[in-house]
Structure 1
């Protein structure tokens, strides 16, 4: 690698690491039978504490009865401390494996519960809830967020429709590509034509022409709307094969858009008003 390439890689890595942390998280609920994932609320952190509100879409989610501790679909819940339903999704710093865990998420040793759930999605085995950071405006016309690359374990040893080409990635090839990634390396988002297991998984994450996973479903609609030329992705954290599949690759997304653009915009994303 020449000096110019080295400088470019270091600049990319610095850009990825220095991004601000999200102040808003989308709360999603997965149907225990159909496995469909739907947004049902927004969790917010500000100088006054924490706030949770349901979005209108929660009213239309089949079999969803509300979250424990949040019985009313129309109330705005506030707390000085992170609500127990969400704080219990962070790891206790007294655990012996805490340092290894936060390192895998690219977080410091003193990572707060909020930072943990924003990076990890608050996933728990057998659970129906997941959290996703809302992209934040980092400078004029540019939005950014981190995301765990989804579906990595479903990439290998199956046929993938990448653009207009059929592709087969062996487990050895996938592992080799993942192990070769470095912080700041560029990732490409490309259309996945037809995924019967998950029709919403329409954007593959690629490295060096090899699919390594999927963009989270929640982002797909807005990213497609923005267009390829306005979207970039980079490696933020890469973990070895000892990490769970869903934590192998943490990426950073950067999007360019007009000042009027908003992520997760539309009637179903509006906060459920009082009285509903």
Structure 2
């Protein structure tokens, strides 16, 4: 499976609001490749996407599939330079998959989200960038706290096991003064939970970038880093069965 130039696709069930990893998009030398993952078989409510109705088939295209292309902001839009700046990318060298991976490819009309695979280095270490979730639901004091953060500021991960919507939820806390400033994305929550309960010294989070002029979902970017210590029973992030390709 390609580690770089790829993105996972997650779908939220309208019935129980649970998220499932249902697809994997890769960029190849000749174009793009899409496969469904085992997560697409976990909910009876999931309907395959138009033009890609067979779950066990590999789809190949010279151009980016419409499902993904329609989630890219046109470079001709006047807000595009700011959008790329909020993502922490360079407009002159950014690929469509990089934009989808960093932005999530979010649209208000459906329940789909994209994210990059956590790449494990040879020494079993990793770095992963994401935007903090839930800022729009926080108090004014928390939002003010976020606006004063600086790149490199250390943050803290906290289990939110009594969360009625997601018992794997992970809060993010700032220090001095101590204040909750949002949540980790749900696609990372289960893996972070494993770290916090078995090897909490080997996972860290810090501020990567704050964009106070951005919409709330792009305002605070964090860097999650750590190292997989297999002696503690930890497996690589995103290694569960739902991430595996059906066609393999």
Give the TM-score of the pair, scaled to structure 1.
Answer: 0.78
Partner residue of 1:255?
226
User: Is 1:214 paired with 2:183?
Assistant: yes
Partner residue of 2:205?
233
Distance in 1, matches of 2:201 and 2:140, equals 31
Structure 1 unaligned blocks of 5 or more: 1-20, 157-170
Distance in 2, matches of 1:28 and 1:201, equals 17
User: Is 1:223 paired with 2:192?
Assistant: yes
Aligned-pair Cα RMSD in Å = 2.1
Distance in 1, matches of 2:6 and 2:236, equals 13
Partner residue of 1:166?
none
Distance in 1, matches of 2:150 and 2:4, equals 23
Using a 3 Å threshold, how does the CA distance of structure 1 residues 62 and 212 change in structure 2: closer, same or farther?
farther
- Counterpart contact for 1:56–1:270, Cα < 8 Å: yes
Following superposition, which runs of at least 4 residues in structure 1 exceed 4 angstroms of deviation?
none
Aligned length: 237
Cα-to-partner distance string for 1:125-175 (whole Å, 9 max, x where unaligned): 122211011111245221122111111223x3xxxxxxxxxxxxxx23212
Distance in 2, matches of 1:232 and 1:48, equals 38
Q: Match for 1:151 among 120, 134, 142?
A: 134
Stretch deviating more after TM superposition (137-146 or 254-263): 254-263
Partner residue of 2:112?
129
Q: Match for 2:78 among 96, 99, 122?
A: 96
Cα-to-partner distance string for 1:154-201 (whole Å, 9 max, x where unaligned): 3x3xxxxxxxxxxxxxx23212211111122222111113112x2245
What SS is found at the alignment partner of 1:26? strand
Aligned ranges 1:64-75 → 2 under 5 Å: 64-75=46-57
Structure 2 unaligned blocks of 5 or more: none
Q: CA deviation at 1:27?
A: 0.6
- Counterpart contact for 1:201–1:214, Cα < 8 Å: no
Using a 3 Å threshold, how does the CA distance of structure 1 residues 138 and 73 change in structure 2: closer, same or farther?
same
Q: CA deviation at 1:214?
A: 0.7
Using a 3 Å threshold, how does the CA distance of structure 1 residues 70 and 150 change in structure 2: closer, same or farther?
same
What SS is found at the alignment partner of 2:68? helix
Distance in 2, matches of 1:47 and 1:207, equals 43
Distance in 2, matches of 1:187 and 1:137, equals 22
Give the TM-score of the pair, scaled to structure 2.
Answer: 0.87
- Counterpart contact for 1:53–1:77, Cα < 8 Å: yes
Distance in 2, matches of 1:224 and 1:48, equals 39
- Counterpart contact for 1:30–1:129, Cα < 8 Å: yes
User: Is 1:56 paired with 2:28?
Assistant: no
- Counterpart contact for 1:105–1:237, Cα < 8 Å: no
